[in-house]
């Protein structure tokens, strides 16, 4: 369980860093957004793969437990009198095999927790995908609304100022054309 907690803390920090929209703490530059979006696909694919692996591990362990339980159930039922209720057989198993039962229960609970945490991380990444899609739409809209803008290594506020000036120039040009 401690390994899982450590993994969750480490993974949370990593995801928090990778899902920050701006690394500078200020306005988001076009270059920075482009870098984030280009890295996102690989990260998202990895989170999907991790989730699938955790799901498979959980299912496999659950299947192993079910097989173990069914074998024990049949064995105990054969040892008991005919016509004994299933609840009685289950009670005998819970008593006779309590250490094994506890081990199975702990393993299954830990794998289920890991699977659930990974599903939440996957959901978080899905939300980030939606945010990036919206940011990309906004970026396309801003670029389409301006004439030509150099996208060098400027800060987000410099870039926004350039967009504003380009829009003003564009509006002036349209005003002169209508005369």
Higher pLDDT, 143 or 63: 63
For 70-101, write each residue's pLDDT tens digit: 999 999 999 998 888 999 999 999 999 999 99
DSSP 85: -
What pLDDT is recorded for position 22? 62
Closest to 19 measured CA to CA, from 11, 30, 8, 29: 11
Average pLDDT over residues 17-46: 75
At 27, the pLDDT band (50, 70, 90 cuts) reads low
**Other Cβ atoms within 10 Å of 78 Cβ, number:** 9
Angle at the Cα of 121 (from 109 to 9), degrees rounded to 5? 75
- Domain limits, the chain: 2-11+27-121
> What span, in angstroms and rounded, lies between the C-alpha atoms of 144 and 27?
20
pTM, two decimals, is: 0.66
Burial (CB count <10 Å: 0-12, 13-18, 19+), residue 109: exposed
Higher pLDDT, 10 or 97: 97
At 153, the pLDDT band (50, 70, 90 cuts) reads very low
């Amino acid at each position: 369980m401690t390994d899982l907690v450590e993994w969750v803390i480490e993974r949370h920090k990593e995801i928090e860093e990778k899902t920050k929209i701006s690394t500078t703490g200020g306005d988001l530059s076009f270059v920075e957004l482009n870098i984030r979006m280009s890295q996102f696909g690989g990260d998202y694919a990895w989170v999907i793969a991790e989730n699938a692996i955790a799901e498979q591990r959980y299912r496999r362990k659950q299947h192993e437990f079910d097989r173990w339980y069914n074998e024990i159930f049949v064995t105990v039922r054969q040892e008991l009198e005919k016509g004994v209720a299933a609840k009685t057989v289950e009670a005998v198993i819970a008593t006779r095999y309590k250490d094994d039962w506890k081990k199975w229960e702990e393993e299954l609970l830990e794998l289920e927790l890991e699977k659930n945490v990974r599903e939440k991380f996957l959901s978080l990444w899905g939300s980030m995908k939606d945010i990036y899609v919206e940011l990309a739409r906004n970026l396309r809209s801003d670029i389409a609304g301006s004439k030509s803008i150099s996208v060098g290594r400027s800060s987000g506020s410099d870039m926004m100022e350039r967009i504003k000036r380009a829009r003003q120039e564009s509006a002036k040009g349209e005003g002169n054309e209508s005369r």
